[in-house]
Structures are given as structure tokens and as C-alpha cells.
Amino acid sequence: MRQSRTQMTRIVILTTSLFMACNTVKFGGNNEKRQANPPTLPPASVTAPQLPPLARPAPCSRDYEVPATANPYLAGAASGTSMTYTLTNGDPQSPTDRAPEQAPVLVTPTDPSCFKPGAILAFTVAGSITHNQSREQSSADGNTAVIVSHQLGAVNGISDIKAPIDSLVGVFLGASDPRGSAAPSKLDFSTVASRDYLTIEPKLGQLFFIGKGKTATGTNRQVVVPLGATRLYFGTMDTYQWNNNIGGLRGAIMTVR
């Protein structure tokens, strides 16, 4: 079809305008892309799921003062209960320990669920004690060069134990008088490896080593609460005659789960 000069001029002008418009949109888009600020992200608490905190022991009791005179074999004993030992080297001091004077410390959890069967406990411990007034005091890990057992063995339904002298020990009891039950077997904590346990499951009436509450590498020693436990006692390790020991420890329990 033959077109007039005027029509051809209009087509050229229109084509040029469209070309310029297209390039204007393209360049404008690039300019916006270069000048745009980075997108502002919402707070992490909104956009990212919060991971649960790492499992850490939570306090489950207040701090308890544990005197060096705390004889674990008087755990659960009625007032007036006594225990007489055989002394050596002409010791002029009393051979008899009595409740409540030399009784161990009863630990009461702030949350009863801390003592549910299978609950796992950890410990915070500080202080120092000694069984001999002429010797330096030891930490709650005790004097690891001197491993002792109880002179009278198992008594009052509570087991014997082999552990460093002057260390912190514990024992779980049920609601009844422990003297009505046979004592469990004796646990042996005479070696570094045995004291560096990660988890232990003592029975009711079975003495166990707590020490400073941590292994040599700083990991919490963990103790599983036995079935039927309603009470936990903190005591110190000696072989006889707790009444002349000096110093004190401070201990508390924590729940791991």
C-alpha cells in the first residue's frame, strides 16, 4: 500500500518515541537497582526460630553449711543416737559421736520434683576441712593420698565406702528408719578414674562420693535419684571420731533435668 510522506513521518516519529520510552524504562530500572538500599531484615526473634538453651543444671536447693564433724552414719538417726569408736595412740578426746551434734546435714530441695525417681542431680561445693587439727585442710575432694573406710563398716542401714579422707559424701534415704533395712554394698572411690564418674546411680543407704562436684576436666558429676528417695544427707569422710574435725564445706544441689 502506498503511504504518503506525512504518514511515513508519523510512523518514524512514533517508532522513535517507543524506542526512547523502552530505553527509559530499562535505564530507570537499572538506576533503581543500583540505588536501592539493602532490605531491612526483621529482628532475628521474628524471622528465625529460637533454639532451646543448652541443658544446664538449675539450682534446686539453697546453700548448706556442712561442718567437718558431719558423720554420715548418723543420717536419719534420732536425737541421742550415739556411735562409739576405738581410738588409737592414746587419743584423749571423746571416742563417741552423737546425734544431733555430729549428725550429717539434711538437704531439702526447693522443688520436690528434684527428688523424683530418675531425676539427675549435680552439685556446687566449696570450702575445706581436716580430720586432724595438726594437718592442713583439704578441699571437698579430700586428701587423695589417704583413702579410708569406716572403722565400723556398714551400720544403721548405711553402707561402708572407700574414699579420700576429708571428702564430701552423700547418702539418700527413704521415709522410713534406715536401721530397718540391710545396708547396700560398699562403693569404691579410691582411684582417680572412679572419682571421675560422669553418672552414678546409688541405692538408698549407699554412700557415694561427691567431692567438689566436678571431675578433673571440670564436668559435673551427676547422680541419679534412686526410687523411694525422700531425703539426701551431706556428710564428710573420716574413718572414726568425727567430733574433733575442723573446718566446713558449703554445698547445694542442682537439677540437670
pLDDT over threshold 70, residue 55: no
For residues 55-73, average pLDDT? 88
- Within a 10 A sphere around the Cβ of 169, how many other Cβ atoms? 25
The answer to whether 68 and 166 are in contact (CB under 8 A) is yes
- Rounded to whole angstroms, what are the CA distances from 172 to 112, 223, 232, 249? 14, 11, 4, 19
Q: What is the pLDDT of residues 69-121, one digit of tens each?
A: 999 999 999 999 999 999 877 777 889 999 999 999 999 898 888 999 999 99
Where are the extended beta strands (E) located within the chain?
Answer: 58-59, 64-67, 82-84, 96-98, 105-107, 120-130, 138-139, 143-148, 161-165, 168-173, 187-188, 199-200, 208-209, 222-224, 231-236, 246-255
**What is the pLDDT, as a whole number, of residue 15?**
39
Dist. CA 148–CA 166, nearest whole Å: 10
pLDDT over threshold 80, residue 63: yes
Q: What is the pLDDT of residues 41-51, one digit of tens each?
A: 444 433 333 43
Q: What pLDDT band is residue 171 in, cutting at 50, 70 and 90? A: very high
**What is the pLDDT, as a whole number, of residue 92?**
77
Domain spanning 58-255: CATH superfamily: Galactose-binding lectin (2.60.120.430)
Dist. CA 56–CA 84, nearest whole Å: 43
Domain definitions of the chain by residue range? 58-255
The proportion of the chain whose per-residue pLDDT surpasses 70, expressed as a percent, equals 77
